[in-house]
């Protein structure tokens, strides 16, 4: 399930600062990156299952591995984890209301923090 109009889509921010801000809100990059893309996850282990709030980003001209990149954020999504297959985001998934509200709260707080550091071209 994608979150529309969160205000973080297309935000551009320095990777190192982004790592710190995301961590503050429980979103972790860990090993989920390559030289042009990043994924930040917040895990929800609730009675309905395991879910992940994900925020994806990419760089147009930087190098994530060298920690020298400005990241453009994409539309956030929440998905349900199925062992051993992975995370599903599809229309057939059921996302509890309390999970959606928690994700929206996290994204709203993240938006407020990002606004202070956004790079304007």
Asked whether residue 4 is domain-assigned, the answer is no
Q: Could you tell me the residue range of the domain that residue 51 belongs to? A: 12-115
Q: Is residue 73 part of a domain?
A: yes
Residue 36 lies in a domain: yes
The CATH number linked to 104 is: 3.30.310.100
The reply to whether 90 falls in a domain is yes
Q: Mind listing the pLDDT tens digit for each residue in 49-108?
A: 999 999 999 999 899 999 999 999 999 999 999 888 888 888 788 899 999 999 999 999
Residue 2 in any domain: the answer is no
Report if residue 91 sits inside a domain.
yes
Q: Return the closest-CA partner of residue 11 out of 105, 99, 74, 69.
A: 74
For the record, the structure tokens of 60 come out as 């147009």
Burial degree of 3 (CB within 10 A; 0-12, 13-18, 19+)? middle
Question: What are the contacts of 34-40 at 24+ separation with CB within 8 A?
Answer: 34/64, 34/65, 35/63, 35/64, 35/65, 36/64, 37/64, 38/64, 38/71
Residue 53 lies in a domain: yes
Examine residue 5 and state whether it is found in any structural domain, yes or no.
no
Rg of the chain over all Cα atoms, to the nearest angstrom: 14
pTM: 0.91
Number of domains in the chain: 1
């Amino acid at each position: 399930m994608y979150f529309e109009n969160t205000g973080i889509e297309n935000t551009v921010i320095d990777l190192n600062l982004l790592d710190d801000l995301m961590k503050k809100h429980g979103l972790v990059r860990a090993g989920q990156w390559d030289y042009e893309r990043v994924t930040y996850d917040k895990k929800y282990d609730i009675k309905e299952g395991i879910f992940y709030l994900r925020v994806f980003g990419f760089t147009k001209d930087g190098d994530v591995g060298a920690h020298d990149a400005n990241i453009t954020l994409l539309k956030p999504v929440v998905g349900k984890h199925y062992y051993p297959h992975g995370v599903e985001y599809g229309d057939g998934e059921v996302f509890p209301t309390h999970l959606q509200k928690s994700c929206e709260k996290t994204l709203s707080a993240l938006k407020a923090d990002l606004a202070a550091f956004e790079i304007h071209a």
